[in-house]
Amino acid sequence: MANPTAAICVIGDEILSGRTKDKNIGWLAEQLTEIGIQLVEARIIADVKDTIIRHISDLSASNDYVFTSGGIGPTHDDITTVSVAEAFGVAVERNEEAMRRLEQHYMGTEIVLNEVRKKMADIPVGASLIDNPVSAAPGFCLNNVYVMAGVPSIMQSMFECLAPSLQGGTAPTRLTVQCETGEGNVAHILQQISEKYNAISVGSYPWFKPGQFGTAVVLTGLDKNTVKSAADELWKLVKKAGYKAETPV
Amino acid sequence: MANPTAAICVIGDEILSGRTKDKNIGWLAEQLTEIGIQLVEARIIADVKDTIIRHISDLSASNDYVFTSGGIGPTHDDITTVSVAEAFGVAVERNEEAMRRLEQHYMGTEIVLNEVRKKMADIPVGASLIDNPVSAAPGFCLNNVYVMAGVPSIMQSMFECLAPSLQGGTAPTRLTVQCETGEGNVAHILQQISEKYNAISVGSYPWFKPGQFGTAVVLTGLDKNTVKSAADELWKLVKKAGYKAETPV
């Protein structure tokens, strides 16, 4: 059976301007792969309500899971919550449990839980909260959309809280064959293996170091034995063609 | 007049699996911003022909420019060229000039320009070549789509070659006001400035250090004087509200 699919949607003008470099897609991609959820697409979009609504609707309809990061803070440009609510036609209301968490978090600090900060307790009706161990203000899950903060440390802590609730699949097996030759010399072997084992993805990644170059061939699939057979066969063919290669690892 | 818009499309299973971290979006975002092209969206998609065709058609229709990276090497999983050609209904043919460059590049090396490597000279009919100072195999431009390599050093060298041919707009002016307080305390001021100067984007980026926290407020716009006025007014309002803030820089 195929693994469940996911899309990531990073929301933030600061990423599109190049001022801030996204770190969330790469981290989430690794996490999802490990628990057997196949990331099929990632998008980075602007802080514009209609844009967010359009992409969330599109990605939610075509994937099992959607994970968003960014735009759930207290300022005027934090419009992810209202936009996701509108994408599903539900209202946003002040959530009692979220308020309780904010009150507890700010209690005994210099920070005043003013009207602007209370906005972080506004959650779409029917959504469940995602814990935020770093700064209390929760994310939420509405239908198949998981809305998280943009700051990487907060997003990561949120994802670790919600991960046990996800229905993952089979973690893929991945084997690498390091070939001491250019990919143009082994491409015909890669194609042959790719055609023979059509449930296996065969990736080819050339690398260069001063005075050296080679190709890392990465075989990935859900069935361990098939990946092992394909990698062994590929390794033998590369050797037979006269090139050095390390045994699959 | 508004600046021209662009989308980035990164093509590669290795990014979606988390094995490789994308470095092209952040770099390109900065370059585009500097020459007055507004990046409105970035997508990371899989090495699947129908997927590539669908996204390229979609992004090409809705933006002035589309920049792709990945999938133009010699192996079986390098299907960007045929997919982009098919998106525009044109054939792919072996390009004489591209062949000449590959021959020159491999001449006198141990590397044989075999049939597989010659595939890198296959270019859609009617496309213009993008120079590749690093490894010769060219990218190409078809209609408003610029197809580049995925390896960051090669992609960057290609973009630097093609950049002078792009019709940029006004490079935005960006001023930052560092506020020594949480964003929840200045959010009402940010909103006020954002509403008053609606051609200015007002971004709010909280930061934390041990024992310290603050908010970087970033004002961006195409008219220098308006950005300056907005930043000065914001700075004065933050001071008036009783918080420390540095003059706009």
Of the options 3.30.2290.10, 3.30.300.100, 3.40.1800.10, 3.40.50.2020, the CATH number for the domain spanning B173-240: 3.30.300.100
pLDDT given at position A210: 80
pLDDT digits (tens, 9 = 90+) for A9-48: 999 999 999 999 999 999 999 999 999 999 999 999 999 9
Residue of B nearest to A14 (CA): B203
pLDDT at A249 over 80: yes
Q: Where in chain B is the domain with CATH 3.40.980.10?
A: 5-165
Q: Name the one residue in this structure whose structure tokens are 């408003």.
A: B144
Tell which residue, A149, A160, A44, A67, has the closest CA to residue B22.
A44
Task: Answer whether B13 sits within 8 Å of A203, measured CB to CB.
Answer: yes
pLDDT given at position B113: 93
Instruction: Calculate how close chain A gets to B65, using CA atoms only, in Å.
Output: 14
Please state, for a pLDDT cut of 90, what percent of chain B lies above it.
Answer: 92
pLDDT at A1 over 80: no
pLDDT digits (tens, 9 = 90+) for A138-172: 999 999 999 999 999 999 999 999 999 999 999 99
Task: Answer whether A188 sits within 8 Å of B41, measured CB to CB.
Answer: no
pLDDT at B221 over 90: yes
DSSP string for B85-115: HHHTT--EEE-HHHHHHHHHHHTTSS----H
Order of all β-strands in the sheet with A201-209:
A173-179, A212-221, A201-209
Q: Where in chain B is the domain with CATH 3.30.300.100?
A: 173-240
Residue of B nearest to A204 (CA): B75
Categorize the per-residue pLDDT at B174 as very low, low, confident or very high, splitting at 50, 70 and 90.
very high
Task: Answer whether A114 sits within 8 Å of B185, measured CB to CB.
Answer: yes
* Residues of chain B contacting residue A182, judged by C-beta atoms under 8 Å apart: 111
Instruction: Calculate how close chain A gets to B126, using CA atoms only, in Å.
Output: 26
Q: What is the pTM of this model?
A: 0.94
pLDDT given at position B207: 86
Average pLDDT estimate for A57-86? 97
Instruction: Calculate how close chain A gets to B181, using CA atoms only, in Å.
Output: 9
* Residues of chain B contacting residue A73, judged by C-beta atoms under 8 Å apart: 183, 204, 206
φ, ψ (nearest 5 deg) of residue B231: -65, -40
* Residues of chain A contacting residue B54, judged by C-beta atoms under 8 Å apart: none
pLDDT given at position B96: 98
Task: Answer whether B41 sits within 8 Å of A16, measured CB to CB.
Answer: yes
pLDDT at A55 over 90: yes
* Residues of chain A contacting residue B230, judged by C-beta atoms under 8 Å apart: none
pLDDT at B1 over 80: no
* Residues of chain A contacting residue B18, judged by C-beta atoms under 8 Å apart: 26-33, 39
Instruction: Calculate how close chain B gets to A88, using CA atoms only, in Å.
Output: 22
pLDDT digits (tens, 9 = 90+) for A195-233: 999 999 999 988 887 888 899 999 999 999 999 999 999
pLDDT digits (tens, 9 = 90+) for A167-189: 999 999 999 999 999 999 999 99
Half-sphere exposure of B204 (CA within 13 A, CB side): 27
Q: Which CATH superfamily is domain A5-165 in?
A: MoaB/Mog-like domain (3.40.980.10)
- Can you tell me whether residue A117 is helix, strand or coil? helix
Q: Mean of the per-residue pLDDT values for chain A?
A: 95
Residue of A nearest to B5 (CA): A16
pLDDT at A98 over 90: yes
pLDDT given at position B178: 96
pLDDT given at position B108: 85
Say which of A22, A75, A206 has its CB closest to residue B187.
A75
Tell which residue, A231, A185, A182, has the closest CA to residue A208.
A182
* Residues of chain B contacting residue A217, judged by C-beta atoms under 8 Å apart: none
Average pLDDT estimate for B38-48? 97
pLDDT given at position B210: 80
DSSP B121: G
Q: Mean of the per-residue pLDDT values for chain B?
A: 95
Helix residue ranges, H only, chain B: 13-16, 24-34, 49-62, 80-87, 96-106, 115-118, 152-162, 183-196, 224-240
Complex confidence, ipTM: 0.93
Please state, for a pLDDT cut of 70, what percent of chain A lies above it.
Answer: 100
Task: Answer whether B76 sits within 8 Å of A191, measured CB to CB.
Answer: yes
Q: Name the one residue in this structure whose structure tokens are 């310290």.
A: B212
Residue of B nearest to A30 (CA): B18
Task: Answer whether A204 sits within 8 Å of B40, measured CB to CB.
Answer: no
Instruction: Calculate how close chain B gets to A20, using CA atoms only, in Å.
Output: 8
Categorize the per-residue pLDDT at A193 as very low, low, confident or very high, splitting at 50, 70 and 90.
very high
Categorize the per-residue pLDDT at B28 as very low, low, confident or very high, splitting at 50, 70 and 90.
very high
Task: Answer whether B46 sits within 8 Å of A44, measured CB to CB.
Answer: no
Task: Answer whether A17 sits within 8 Å of B40, measured CB to CB.
Answer: no
CA distances from B152 to A32, B20, B21, B26, B90 (A): 24, 11, 11, 11, 28
pLDDT at B17 over 90: yes
